[in-house]
Chain A
Amino acid sequence: GEGVGLHLPTLSVQEGDNSIINCAYSNSASDYFIWYKQESGKGPQFIIDIRSNMDKRQGQRVTVLLNKTVKHLSLQIAATQPGDSAVYFCAESQGGSEKLVFGKGTKLTVNP
């Protein structure tokens, strides 16, 4: 597909479990990646970003891992909560461009 894609369209987890959302990208020139969360009827919300000179970056309850060798990106959410239920998109920026290329998204459902 174009640019960025995801392995799974849906993910269902139990509250308190850790979630891992995966993303594959195809453009070796991509050097900047962002994860967004989109709740129903709302705009995307920035979660965390990572540049290609890094392998890992941590935020509050979230970690992004970047494997440039296999062009793979993942988002880990620790102690998943019902409020984490949303669609998660990865996006890439291709070498100097201001525009982002988004994947199709993974719908995360957190069961109580």
Chain B
Amino acid sequence: NAGVMQNPRHLVRRRGQEARLRCSPMKGHSHVYWYRQLPEEGLKFMVYLQKENIIDESGMPKERFSAEFPKEGPSILRIQQVVRGDSAAYFCASSPPGLRNTGELFFGEGSRLTVL
């Protein structure tokens, strides 16, 4: 939890609304990962991004979910037309040159989405 900033920490949406989750990586980190955690579950990989590029989105649902990491500003995870099943904690993590080189990810505190 060393410096990865996520906001909002808690977000409540009604079904059909949009949710936007933001992640600012640690200073100097150019790699961002998004994971989703359901209650009493482990984290599930969603997407891996570098600045302006999506490297691996194999964990992203095919519809309604998108992610970006622009040249300037935070990474955004966007969920359109939310459904109750989207309720979860969404964690962002960052690393400098890449997981295998650094040996660890730095996770944020998470954004907890509740869909009513």
Q: A72 CA to B30 CA in the complex, in Å?
A: 33
The binding surface of chain A is classed by DSSP as strand
**Chain B residues positioned under 8 Å from A100 (CB to CB):** 43, 45, 99, 105
Report B24-67 CB contacts with A as 1/0, cut-off 8 Å. Answer: 00000001010100001111110010000001101100000000
B42 and A103 contact, CB distance less than 8 A: yes
B95 to chain A: closest residue by CB? A98
B110 to chain A: closest residue by CB? A43
Question: What number of residue pairs across chains A and B have CB atoms under 8 A from each other?
Answer: 63
B31 to chain A: closest residue by CB? A98
Q: Which of A32, A44, A46, A93 contacts B43 (CB 8 A)?
A: A44
Report A33-74 CB contacts with B as 1/0, cut-off 8 Å. Answer: 010000001111110010000000000000000000000000
Q: A41 CA to B107 CA in the complex, in Å?
A: 13
CB proximity to A under 8 Å, residues B91-116: 91, 93, 98-100, 103-110
B1 and A99 contact, CB distance less than 8 A: no
Q: A106 CA to B1 CA in the complex, in Å?
A: 20
**Knowing A89-B42, A99-B33, A101-B45 touch, does A42 contact B1 (C-beta < 8 A)?**
yes
**Chain B residues positioned under 8 Å from A32 (CB to CB):** 99-100
Q: A42-B1, A43-B91, A97-B56 are in contact. List 16 more A-B contacts (CB 8 A).
A: A4-B42, A42-B110, A43-B1, A43-B93, A43-B110, A45-B1, A49-B103, A89-B43, A91-B42, A98-B31, A98-B48, A98-B100, A99-B59, A100-B43, A102-B43, A105-B41
A residues apposed to B, CB below 8 Å: 4, 32, 34, 41-46, 49, 89, 91, 93, 97-105
B residues apposed to A, CB below 8 Å: 1, 4, 31, 33, 35, 40-45, 48, 55-56, 58-59, 91, 93, 98-100, 103-110
